[in-house]
Structure 1
Amino acid sequence: MNRLARPTGRRGGAARALAAAAACVALVAGCSSGTDEKKTDDKPAAGAAAAAFPVSLANAWGKTEVGKKPVKVATVSDGDTDIALALGVVPVITPDAEDGGPVPEYKQRAIDKLGAGKLKTYDDSDGTDYEAVAAAEPDVILGMNTWGMDKDYAKLAPIAPVVTYSDKMHADTLTWQERLTTAAKALGLEAEAKKVIAANEKATADAAAAHPEFKGKKYTYAVVHPEQITFMSYADQDPGIFEQLGFSKTDNAKKYTADKNSVSLENLDELEADVLLMTYPFGDNGLLSADELESNKLFQSLDVVKDKHYAVVPSDGNLASALAYPDALNSSWVVEKLTPILAKAVAGK
């Protein structure tokens, strides 16, 4: 889905025990063991992919029909670009999610692995550039990870088959695995999607195994937004990377929901946990700075702060963004970058 201004919003680990698994995912398409094996497998794989077509997928606006395996793939969100790259596909056109700035590390790894050079992009500051997408003459358009499809679908569908969610509510609710799997079906790359998911799962499992001290520790994760401090690890939130690494939510999490998640400065004690992580993705536009929060006497009185089990998840470099919006390309990278931060916080360093 479209990301908040980088960061977000939402775009691992134990030393480098994760590195191979993380690289395998970020560099995509699974780790191949050698040239000879690749030669042996190429023809059957290609034949199986061709046999999978035509593909018909229901979407929230009707039906998507993909007659043959696509070669030229366009994307309409940063998250869809990540899906394509994770599957080993270089898009023919993609929005300029970085606004001309540096490409996130995890994405650059994939681009370099695929030998893609600089991606061809369009300026999306005013939304999807339909003319640029049409000029790229795509065989298919990926829109699994965008909030703008309600506006875009009617203008994109005449250009090429649009691969998107089957219910408008899914813009918010689908997991990255579900988005990846649907896109992979339309591209004839279902086997590759399974490899990507397995590699991500292995990276996380390896990090958890390397850090048994994480098991059972209660955590709070909070984000300083412009209008409020947001209790992100509320009780009904789907289990995310923290829980996959062995942590569990605090009892205070039961007081918060997706719609009721504001922590007032008078109630900072509700952030108390074995481990507290904060992030400031909006910089100077946030409610308050890290220095301002850390000088607050109530905040200073928290055991988690006094015992140095508190850490800031950096918003620079896209970690806060990727943590908020996990996808097929960034998930293992998040584990790689977040695990050392968590290890230090648990240790009280």
Structure 2
Amino acid sequence: MSAADPVGSLSRRRLLVGAGALGLLSACGGGGGGSTTAPPPAPGAPGAFPLTVEHSKGATEIASAPQRVVTVGFSDQDPVLAMGVRPVAVTDWYGDHPHATWPWAQDELGDAQPAVLNRGAFTGTPDYRYEEIAALAPDLIVGLYTSMDDTQFQTLSRIAPTVGPPAGYPEWGAPWQEYTRLAGRALGAPERAEELIAGIDAQLAATRAAHPEFAGRTAVVAERFEPGSSFVRSPGDPRSQLVTALGFTIPPEIVEVAGELDGGTLSDERMALLDRDVLIWNTGFSPEVRAQVEAAPLYSQLQVVRDGRAVFVDDPLVSAAWTWGTVLSLPTVIDALAGQLAGALA
């Protein structure tokens, strides 16, 4: 993923930790702007704390209901807000929205004004600015949709108790349900997490029932970041996860291209691998690439294209909600995506 390609492969870059990162905590610089006053008390269930949360970096003890939560994952503000907790700081991913919070989460944000870390500085590699984080005086750091090595986790944990990504999944590859559950456990609201998950699962089940034609059909989720190649999403990527939740399957050949990452690059000479029951292009972040896709020499020869079964998700909000794939964004995209796919298969 690059700054110019905000939804490209996060996993293709390895994280580098600067020498002496552990020493940064001795000097605290200014925060990322915005409000640093304590938000209303966290709505954890009575008696929920103290608690211990397990994650990919180990186990973290949280002594009391957090009052000053900082999120360092690219989409972590969504599951945290969904639990009724307003962070004092969030991390910018992409898009120019108030407080790095997209429209689908603005109601949950309310009048809070969290500081924004890394505003406009997205490169595809997490950049934990320890001095800025420490200056916010957090009592909990949440890093779910991110990558975090042991040194980074230890450094963050010296600032405040830190919850890392879900255990048992590749980087960036946990289902949205697991990010939601982990946020719920960390914030003392596991029942709230399960209620929200059940609501979206019910919406997905109703959509599958309304569209039995989706069942068992093959689909490929593709994006375009540079001329001459496409990027195909693995089954573990949030975009593909939603497609499979609607009833489609991701072909094994695409799984091989992606490997253990969130996706893989496919040269235009291999475009035949895109010829499936439906081909879904995520282009809302850069609608102009559609012309580039359609100009590729082999593209017009694909049967899926000739039959009109290629779909371009070019609405910026729908595309972003699909890309984020969170407990708050998914309700925005399910019906819109299902409608486009039904039209393509009609």
**Cα distance, 1:86 vs structure 2:** 1.7
| Aligned equivalent of 2:281, options 278, 282, 287 | 278
Give the C-alpha shift of residue 261 in structure 1: 4.3
CA offset digits 1:117-164 (Å, max 9, x no partner) = 543323353823333333332221111222145453233223221112
Distance 1:110 1:237 in 2: 21
Structure 2, unpaired ranges of 5+: 11-42
Number of the residue aligned with 1:31: none
CA-to-partner distance for each residue in 1:88-122, whole Å, 9 max, x for gaps? 211111123347x1359983233224523543323
**TM-score computed with the length of structure 2 as normaliser:** 0.73
Q: Which residue of 1 aligns with 2:19?
A: none
Partner Cα separation in structure 2 for residue 98 and residue 254 of structure 1: 27
Classify 1:105/1:153 alpha carbon distance in 2 versus 1 (closer, same or farther; 3 Å). Answer: closer
Give the equivalent residue in structure 2 for 1:23. none
SS of residue paired to 1:49: coil
Equivalent residues in 2 for 1:326-345, closer than 5 Å: 326-345=325-344
**What does residue 26 of structure 2 align with?**
none
The answer to whether the Cα contact below 8 Å between 1:50 and 1:68 also exists between their aligned partners in 2 is no
**Structure 2 residue aligned with 1:77:** 73
Tell me which protein shows more helix as a share of its residues.
1
Q: 1:237 to 1:327 in 2, by over 3 A?
A: closer
Question: What residue is the counterpart of 1:41 in the other structure?
Answer: none
Alignment correspondent of 2:34: none
Cα deviation 1:223-248 (Å, max 9, x = unaligned): 223373233357x8897222221223
Q: Shift of residue 282 of structure 1?
A: 7.4
In structure 2, the residue matched to 1:53 is: 49
Q: Residue 84 of structure 1: CA displacement?
A: 0.7
Change (3 A) 1:60 1:135: same
For 1:232, the equivalent position in structure 2 comes to: 233
- AA at the equivalent of 1:181: R
Matches within 5 A, 1:153-302: 153-165=153-165, 170-226=170-226, 228-232=229-233, 240-250=241-251, 253=254, 256-258=257-259, 261-280=264-283, 283=286, 289-302=289-302
* 1:6 and 1:318 in contact (8 A); partners too: no
In structure 1, runs of 5+ residues without a counterpart are 12-45
The question of whether the paired residues in 1 share the 8 Å contact of 2:223 and 2:232 is answered with yes
Q: How many residues align?
A: 306
Q: Is the 8 A contact 2:216 2:249 kept in 1?
A: yes
- Whether contact under 8 Å (1:233, 1:253) holds in the other structure is yes
Task: Please say which of residues 266-275 and 245-254 is displaced more in the overlay.
Answer: 245-254
Residue number in structure 1 paired with 2:133: 133
- What secondary structure does 2:314 align onto? coil
Give the % identical residues.
Answer: 29
| Separation of aligned partners in 2, 1:166 and 1:213 | 33
Counterpart Cα distance in 2 of 1:87 and 1:309: 39
CA distance in 2 between counterparts of 1:106 and 1:133 reads: 18
Q: Which residue does the alignment assign to 2:63?
A: 67
Report the TM-score when normalising by structure 1: 0.73
